[in-house]
Structure 1
Amino acid sequence: MTASAEVAPTHSLSQDRRAAAGEDPAKRRQILEGARRAFVGLGFDAASMNDVVREAGVSKSTLYVYFRSKEELFRALIECEREAYLTEVEALLTDPGEPAETLRRYGRRLARLVMSPEAMHAKRTVIAVAARMPELGREFYRHGPARGLALLIAYFEKACAAGTLAIDDVPLAAAQFVELSTAGILRRRFFDDEAPPVSDAEMAHVVDEAVRLFMAGYGLGAK
């Protein structure tokens, strides 16, 4: 048996043990919550794996069984939030016969998500590290905003087929509605961390006006 043949099974066994040992959902959630506190409290760059260990209340060996790096932890945190949101959005975008009411519900949910402290922190972190980790920025967009936009595009196509919307450029219209749903409030909160929180009433007003403007341009009788 060659030396390389001896090493390969050992490496495979090590990875198998790592996967098997890292399958406790409760422990994984505990670590992720600890990472969330560490990243929010200290900032992604300043936080260390030791800080995550302290916040999560686990040993370093346990942490590394589940996650090998801060980047892997950050990706996992984003993925948890993203999948829950996309599942919820998909359930909202189901009635092509009532686009105004559907968009009102969708827009309010979207505004609450993107204005949340967790989402603000995630976006700021991605932008801060994108210069040295461009793949993280690409991954964040492709698996998050781009997927959400695709769901809205699919809904608009169904509404157009049902005759409740009349849109020539569906991808552009989807992007327009996303921007309208947080117009005037997102950038203020994003760049000014001392800006007062946006109230539910203010978000609802912005979304209601977004729906009114959107339906005026793309609704029945608009063209």
Structure 2
Amino acid sequence: MTDQPDGPRLNVRGLARQQIIIEAATGLFLERGFDAVSLDEILRATGGSKTNIYKQFGGKEGLFSEIVRRLAADFLSPLVALDLGQVSRQTGLAILGRTLMRQLMQPRHIAFQRMVLAVSDKFPDLMAEWYRVGPQRSQSVIAAFLGDGPNAAQLAVFFHDMIVTDPVNHALMGAAPDWPEIETRIDAAAALLAQAQA
């Protein structure tokens, strides 16, 4: 992927214009995917010129990369913002699990994941970045809650995968979320990990 260039700093108007471009391109990419959207279509929706997009993002690939980074961070922001205080390990894991799954099962997130997976063979560096700011970031939040134990990181990955993999895979195939089943899965995984760390 093309990295966003280190161009001149944008003024308030330039930042507003950049945000308009990002929002319009996000909608188009989520709806139709990277390959089916051209810069001309984005510019028809936003105005402006290709020169500005190349200057700010390095082109279509750089714009897409910026959108992937922003969306991944946005989806996880409620998880990152949680303050679990002095709750028990099992309760905290259940809260983390429910917060994470509410974000991941949103139709917008499922569209985002489809969009990213569709270009995985074309942009392996972007996939690595998505994994770092997406799944790996959520796993690190769970690991931080579990504490400094020797197995915290590994247990966080187990918990994440136990609650995420099947529901998200089914959603990617078009199935509606089965929230009672998702919550049962979260509670069982939280109880299992709490016992493992007892």
What TM-score does the superposition give when structure 1 sets the normalisation length? 0.72
2:157 to 151, 168, 175: 175
Q: Which has the higher contact order (CA 8 A, sep 6+)?
A: 2
CA–CA distance in structure 2, aligned partners of residues 220 and 126 of structure 1: 36
Residue 208 in 1 paired to residue 183 in 2? yes
What TM-score does the superposition give when structure 2 sets the normalisation length? 0.79
1:91 to 81, 87, 96: 81
Residue 101 of structure 2 corresponds to: 111
Deviations 1:153-205 (A, max 9, x none): 111116x6xxxxxxx73223212221232354211121x24x3x32xxx33x2
CA–CA distance in structure 1, aligned partners of residues 9 and 37 of structure 2: 28
1:120 to 110, 113, 122: 110
Instruction: Quote the offset at 1:221 in angstroms.
Output: 9.4
Question: What secondary structure does 2:8 align onto?
Answer: helix
Instruction: Quote the offset at 1:220 in angstroms.
Output: 5.7
Kindly indicate whether the alpha-carbon contact (under 8 Å) linking 2:98 and 2:186 is maintained by their aligned counterparts in 1: no
Kindly indicate whether the alpha-carbon contact (under 8 Å) linking 1:115 and 1:189 is maintained by their aligned counterparts in 2: yes
Q: What's the % identity of the aligned pairs?
A: 25
**Counterparts in 2 of 1:130 and 1:222: CA distance versus 1, 3 Å:** closer
Residue 170 of structure 2 corresponds to: 188
- What is the letter of the counterpart of residue 126 of structure 2? L
Residue 66 in 1 paired to residue 48 in 2? no
Instruction: Quote the offset at 1:61 in angstroms.
Output: 3.5
How many residues get paired? 193
**Counterparts in 2 of 1:54 and 1:157: CA distance versus 1, 3 Å:** same
Moved more, 72-81 or 101-110: 101-110
Residue 12 of structure 1 corresponds to: none
CA–CA distance in structure 1, aligned partners of residues 145 and 36 of structure 2: 41
CA–CA distance in structure 2, aligned partners of residues 68 and 139 of structure 1: 17
**Counterparts in 2 of 1:187 and 1:221: CA distance versus 1, 3 Å:** closer
Residue 192 of structure 2 corresponds to: 217
Q: Please identify the structure whose Cα radius of gyration is greater.
A: 1
Instruction: Quote the offset at 1:78 in angstroms.
Output: 2.0
Q: What residue ranges of structure 2 are gaps of 5+ in the alignment?
A: none
Residue 19 of structure 1 corresponds to: 8
CA–CA distance in structure 1, aligned partners of residues 196 and 26 of structure 2: 48
- What is the letter of the counterpart of residue 172 of structure 1? Q
Kindly indicate whether the alpha-carbon contact (under 8 Å) linking 1:108 and 1:181 is maintained by their aligned counterparts in 2: no
CA–CA distance in structure 2, aligned partners of residues 120 and 64 of structure 1: 29
**Counterparts in 2 of 1:30 and 1:217: CA distance versus 1, 3 Å:** same
- What is the letter of the counterpart of residue 212 of structure 1? D
